[in-house]
Amino acid sequence: MGGVPLTHVFTADTLNPNGAFGLCGECGVQHTLPYVVGPAIQIHLWRPLYLDAQGLYSRADYTFISTSVTGSTGIIHAFSRSGVDRWEVPILLKIQLKPWRLVHPFAAAGVSFQHGQQFVFFPPGPHGEVDINTDSAIGATFAAGASFGSRWVRPSIEVRYTRWAEQPLVTAPTTVTAKRDEAQFLAGLMFAVKSDRPDASGILEGSPLGRRVSLGIKGGLLLTDALSARMSETSNLFVFGTCLECGTSRTLPYAVGPALEIRIAGGLSATAEVLYSHANYNHISTGKIASFAAVAEEKHAVGRWEAPLLLKYSLKMGGLTPFIAAGASVQYDRDSRVRRLQGLAEISPFPTLPQFQLSTASGPPADSLVVGPTASLGTSFNAGRRVHPSIEVRYTHWIDRAISVTPSPDPFAPLSTPPNPPTIFSTHNQIQLLVGIMF
C-alpha cells in the first residue's frame, strides 16, 4: 500500500522577521516528503466485515534558524535541521458496502499508532552534532474508498483521516509544531492467499470449536498495584514538617481489551491481546530558596497499553477445557501531567502556609516501553456453539520500570553521595484475574 499525504506533518511559523542583518529573528521551515508506503494485510472476519492492518513509512524534515544582537556588535546565530522517520500502524475494521459491477465501496474506522524518530543536526564544527529523539502517539482513524477487480487481485483507492490524541511529535523550536490532523490518499494492491475463492466464509463464521481463528474480548481485575509511592526519609521541617519528596498513587482496578486466538494444531494455539488499564499519582516536592520554601504539587495520569503474546495449550475435560499459557508481554505507558500547582511559603522569620500562585492544566507527556515474561493458568467453558467464556490468573514480571520519578539531586551534596531512590515507580510484578468471551 502506498500514497501521498494530503496534509503537512509540521506547521512552521516566523515569530520575529527582523533579525540581525536582515535574517529572521526566529524562523521555521518544514518539508513533508510526498510519499507513504508499507505492507498491508486483510482478514475476512464475518460476512461484510474485514480487519485491516498496515505498517506505513513516511518522512519529513524541518529547519530552525534564529538570530539576535547582543550589545553593540555581538550576534548570536543558531541553526538546526531535523529529519523525522515516521512509522504508522493503523488497525481498522472495514465494512464492504453493496457492490456495483466490479466496484466494491467500503468504509473503515479504527485506531492508529505512530512512532517517530527525530535526528537533530546542530552545526557548527567539522561534523556537527546529532541528537536522536523518539515520540509515540495514538489516534482515531476513518477511511472511505473502493476496491476493484474480482477473485485473486484487488486494487483499491481510499482517502484516510487520522486525529492524533496529542501532538504526535514534540519539537524543541517554538516556531515548528506537529499537526494533530492528518489526511492521506492511498492506493493498494491486495492478493488472495487462500486455496479457495477470496470471498469465501469469514474466519468468524461457524462454531468456535471448529474454526482456527476466534475473536473476543477480555477484561478483569489487577490484583497488584501498577505504581508504588514512598516518602522521603527526611522531613522538611521548614514547611510544617512536610516531607521533602512525597508520592501517592492509585491504580484503577480494571483491564480490558480485544483478544485474538489462532489454533495451531490439536490443543495448541497462539493468543494475542491488547489490554488497557489506567493509574494516576501525585508528586509533592519542596525546596528552600533564600527565606522562602518552594512547594510544587503535580497530578499525573498514566495510560497503560499491554500486549501479551502467548502460546497456549488446552486439554479437553468434559464441559471444561483447562489451559496453561506462557509467552512475553509488551507494555506501553503514556505519563501525562494533568495539573501542576506551585507556591511559595515564607519561612523567615516565622513559617507560614504556602500561597499557591500558578496553576497549569497539562504538561508534555512521557512515553515508555517495557517487556517481560508472562504465564497464565485457567479454564474455558462450553456455553453453546458460538460463545466460549474463560477465566484465568495471569502473572507478568516486567524487566524494567516504565515509570520512575526520582528526586532532584542536592547540588551541595558530596560527589560520592548515592542517588536518591525514586519517589514513585512502577512495580516489577503484576498479577491479574481475567475473564474472556470468544466468538
pLDDT digit string, tens, across residues 17-28:
555 555 566 777
Q: How far apart are CA 170 and CA 405, in angstroms?
A: 21
Q: What is the DSSP letter of 100?
A: B
Peptide bond into 349 cis (omega under 30): yes
One domain, residues 142 and 221: no
Q: What is the DSSP letter of 422?
A: P
One domain, residues 17 and 142: yes
Distance in angstroms between the alpha carbons of the first and the last residue of the chain: 30
Share of the chain above pLDDT 90, in %: 31
CB 289 within 8 A of CB 238: no
Q: How far apart are CA 83 and CA 119, in angstroms?
A: 5
Alpha helical stretches, state H, 70-159: none
Q: Which residue has the higher pLDDT, 146 or 353?
A: 146
Mean pLDDT along residues 161-190: 84
Region label for 241, one of left (φ > 0), alpha (ψ between -120 and 50) or beta (otherwise): left
Q: Which residue has the higher pLDDT, 384 or 261?
A: 261
pLDDT for res 237 = 45
pLDDT for res 130 = 67
Q: How far apart are CA 183 and CA 54, in angstroms?
A: 16
Tell me the per-residue pLDDT of 276-308, one tens digit each, with 9 for 90 and over: 999 988 888 777 766 666 777 788 889 899 999
pLDDT for res 238 = 47
pLDDT band at 402 (very low <50, low <70, confident <90, very high): confident
CA 9-11-14 angle, 5° bins = 150
pLDDT for res 411 = 46
One domain, residues 297 and 426: yes
One domain, residues 211 and 180: no
For residue 281, the domain's CATH number is 2.40.160.20
Instruction: Look up residue 378 and give its three cell numbers.
Output: 485457567
One domain, residues 211 and 185: no
**Is the pLDDT reported for residue 111 higher than 80?**
yes
CB 360 within 8 A of CB 399: no
One domain, residues 143 and 218: no
**Is the pLDDT reported for residue 115 higher than 90?**
no
Q: How far apart are CA 279 and CA 305, in angstroms?
A: 11
Dihedral sign, CA of 194, 199, 203, 206? negative
Q: How far apart are CA 372 and CA 398, in angstroms?
A: 4
Mean pLDDT along residues 321-350: 80
CB 327 within 8 A of CB 307: no
One domain, residues 185 and 259: no
pLDDT for res 401 = 85
pLDDT band at 198 (very low <50, low <70, confident <90, very high): very low
Q: How far apart are CA 53 and CA 27, in angstroms?
A: 38
pLDDT for res 150 = 66
**Is the pLDDT reported for residue 120 higher than 90?**
no
pLDDT for res 323 = 96
User: Where among 167, 200, 233 does a domain terminate?
Assistant: 200
One domain, residues 145 and 246: no
**Is the pLDDT reported for residue 141 higher than 90?**
yes
CB 266 within 8 A of CB 253: no
Q: How far apart are CA 140 and CA 148, in angstroms?
A: 26
Mean pLDDT along residues 145-167: 87
Q: In 3D, which of 28, 90, 31, 89 has the Cα closest to residue 59?
A: 31
User: Where among 163, 178, 200 does a domain terminate?
Assistant: 200
**Is the pLDDT reported for residue 34 higher than 90?**
no
Instruction: Look up residue 286 and give its three cell numbers.
Output: 519542596
Q: Within 13 Å, how many C-alpha atoms sit on residue 211's CB side?
A: 21
Dihedral sign, CA of 411, 134, 422, 365? positive
One domain, residues 147 and 221: no
pTM of the model: 0.62
One domain, residues 256 and 394: yes
CB 347 within 8 A of CB 353: no
Which range is least confidently modeled, 65-79, 170-184, 194-208, 380-394?
A: 194-208
pLDDT for res 38 = 94
pLDDT for res 137 = 84
Mean pLDDT along residues 96-115: 90
Which range is least confidently modeled, 34-38, 66-70, 398-402?
A: 66-70
pLDDT for res 424 = 87
**Is the pLDDT reported for residue 346 higher than 70?**
no
One domain, residues 165 and 237: no
Instruction: Look up residue 98 and give its three cell numbers.
Output: 453493496
Instruction: Look up residue 46 and give its three cell numbers.
Output: 464475518
One domain, residues 282 and 261: yes
Which range is least confidently modeled, 60-64, 176-180, 313-317, 347-351?
A: 347-351
User: Where among 175, 200, 225 does a domain terminate?
Assistant: 200
Dihedral sign, CA of 321, 324, 328, 331? positive
Q: Which residue has the higher pLDDT, 219 or 166?
A: 219
**Is the pLDDT reported for residue 128 higher than 60?**
no
Overall number of domains in the chain:
2
Range of the domain at 6: 1-200
pLDDT for res 420 = 66
**Is the pLDDT reported for residue 207 higher than 80?**
no
